Amino acid sequence: MDEENKGMYPETKTWNPFVGCKFDCVYCEPSFKRQLKRVGGNIGCEDCSNYRPHCHPTRLSEIPSAEIIFVCGTGDISFCDPDYTRDIIKRIKEHEPRKPKTFYFQSKNPAYFKQFLNEFPENVILLTTLETNRDSGYDLISKAPNPTKRWKDFNSLDYPRKVLTIEPILDFDIESFINIINELSSGSLEYIWIGFDSKNCGLTEPSEQKVQYFINELKDRGINIRGKYLKGVRLE
């Protein structure tokens, strides 16, 4: 999983005291699910092999050495029991690294984070994914909350540090998508990651020209953009 993240999150390692997800996103099959199936076979964990949400409490003490820690990166933490999530947060607070670390908590159900807003330490950043602004047909991609609800829930979180990922980017409505991102950026959005489907999952993607225009418009609004797999699209 660390190698999967490095293209998108430089200097990042994953820490997986909780694993698994039930959103069944089609683009997770050739990446997270396949990789976790191998891991599950290696460690003899049937839940890992089947991507079922479950805990690995022995990993709470195994925070990796890295500048950025992606918390529960092989799953969606919204399927985690809140009491166990508090154990994860407590462990972060207790951790005393030699160098400062930042912890990423990402979910496609950002409403889950609301119950912890007063518990997260300052070195936690909250993330969600918006592949598109379009709800129509999204149920063919994922069982996660549709993009409109996800954006509203993420936008409503009263939290000072947020990051948005638009990856893999699906076809979208330019002005509508720009408007909702612009509203996010007026608050606590630190930056955005954008990338095409790097796993060739047959998704309905926008053209490179459309994405280039989209990025240019966001940058003109002062929004910090970072890229992963951008094909011919340029950030300069």
How high does pLDDT run on average in the chain? 92
CATH number of this structure's domain 2-227, picked from the four choices 1.10.10, 3.20.20, 1.10.20, 3.40.50? 3.20.20
Give per-residue pLDDT as tens, 152-211.
Answer: 999 999 999 999 999 999 999 999 999 999 999 887 999 999 999 998 999 999 999 999
Task: State the CB neighbour count (10 A cutoff) for residue 189.
Answer: 19
Residues 65 and 10: beta-carbon distance below 8 Å: no
User: What is the pLDDT confidence band of residue 35, given thresholds at 50, 70 and 90?
Assistant: confident
pLDDT at 1: 35
Give the integer Cα–Cα distance in Å for 134 and 141.
Answer: 12
Give the integer Cα–Cα distance in Å for 58 and 62.
Answer: 8
Give the integer Cα–Cα distance in Å for 126 and 47.
Answer: 26
Give the integer Cα–Cα distance in Å for 106 and 163.
Answer: 9
Task: Assess whether pLDDT exceeds 60 at residue 8.
Answer: no
Structure tokens at 159: 């939290």
pLDDT at 5: 38
**Surface-to-core class of residue 126, CB atoms within 10 Å of its CB (0-12 exposed, 13-18 middle, 19+ buried):** buried
**Surface-to-core class of residue 202, CB atoms within 10 Å of its CB (0-12 exposed, 13-18 middle, 19+ buried):** exposed
Give the integer Cα–Cα distance in Å for 226 and 192.
Answer: 6
This prediction has a pTM of: 0.93
pLDDT at 9: 59
Give per-residue pLDDT as tens, 58-110.
Answer: 999 999 999 999 999 999 999 999 999 999 999 999 999 999 999 999 999 99
| Region for 222 from its dihedrals, namely left if φ exceeds 0, alpha if ψ lies in -120 to 50, beta otherwise | left
Give the integer Cα–Cα distance in Å for 163 and 189.
Answer: 6
**Residue ranges covered by each domain of the chain:** 2-227
pLDDT at 186: 81
Residues 169 and 212: beta-carbon distance below 8 Å: no
User: What is the pLDDT confidence band of residue 42, given thresholds at 50, 70 and 90?
Assistant: confident
Task: Assess whether pLDDT exceeds 50 at residue 2.
Answer: no
Task: Assess whether pLDDT exceeds 60 at residue 47.
Answer: yes
pLDDT at 152: 97
Give the integer Cα–Cα distance in Å for 207 and 145.
Answer: 25
Q: What angle do CA 171, 231, 186 make, to 5 degrees?
A: 55
Look up residue 37 and give its DSSP letter. H
User: What is the pLDDT confidence band of residue 10, given thresholds at 50, 70 and 90?
Assistant: low
